[in-house]
């Protein structure tokens, strides 16, 4: 598996903690519990299969996501699917996502939202550009 992490330079590092990329993830488990940490995450799936979240109590499938999504700040843990794949994302600093979305971050609290619903077609255009890049360094 390939995993890369990039810490941006100033002034972007005031808002973004790091960018991440992985390819060839092949977990030996099907679900992962993510603990709340006061941050938001933008995720772009580089493969064309849906990802799921699960009800944290019953572990029944809750929602399905495709292409890209934004995970808001959470008060409690969330349960996500751990499936083989290739993904990249942006891990924002606490409060750091606000300048990029121009709306109160509280609208995303305790929620995961398809990125197209937040920024429209720009999300698909960004994903297409990332898919066209030949290496992670150029993504």
Confidence (pLDDT) at 107: 94
pLDDT band (50, 70, 90) for residue 58: very high
Q: Which residues pair with 68 in a beta bridge?
A: 44
Structure tokens at 72: 């808001």
**Mean pLDDT of all residues belonging to the chain:** 94
Q: Is the pLDDT reported for residue 4 higher than 80?
A: yes
Q: Is the pLDDT reported for residue 33 higher than 90?
A: yes
Q: Are 80 and 54 in contact (CB under 8 A)?
A: yes
Domain total of the chain: 1
Confidence (pLDDT) at 113: 96
- 128 lies in which domain range? 2-138
CA–CA separation, 112 and 41 (whole Å): 9
pLDDT band (50, 70, 90) for residue 47: very high
Q: What is the CATH number of the domain that holds 106?
A: 2.60.120
CA–CA separation, 80 and 45 (whole Å): 14
Q: In what order do the strands lie in the sheet with 68-71?
A: 2-6, 16-25, 85-92, 41-45, 68-71, 112-114
Confidence (pLDDT) at 138: 59
């Amino acid at each position: 598996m390939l995993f890369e992490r990039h810490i941006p330079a100033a002034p972007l590092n005031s808002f973004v903690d790091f960018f991440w990329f992985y390819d060839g993830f092949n977990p030996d488990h099907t679900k992962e519990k993510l603990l709340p940490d006061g941050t938001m995450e933008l995720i772009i799936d580089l493969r064309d299969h849906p990802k799921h979240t699960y009800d944290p109590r019953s572990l029944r499938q809750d929602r399905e996501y495709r292409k890209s999504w934004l995970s808001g700040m959470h008060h409690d843990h969330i349960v996500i699917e751990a499936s083989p794949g290739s993904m990249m994302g942006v891990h924002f600093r606490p409060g750091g996502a606000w300048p990029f979305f121009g709306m109160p971050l509280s609208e995303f609290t305790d929620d995961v939202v398809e990125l197209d619903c937040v920024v429209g077609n720009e999300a698909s255009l960004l994903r297409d550009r990332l898919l066209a890049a030949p290496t992670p360094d150029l993504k």
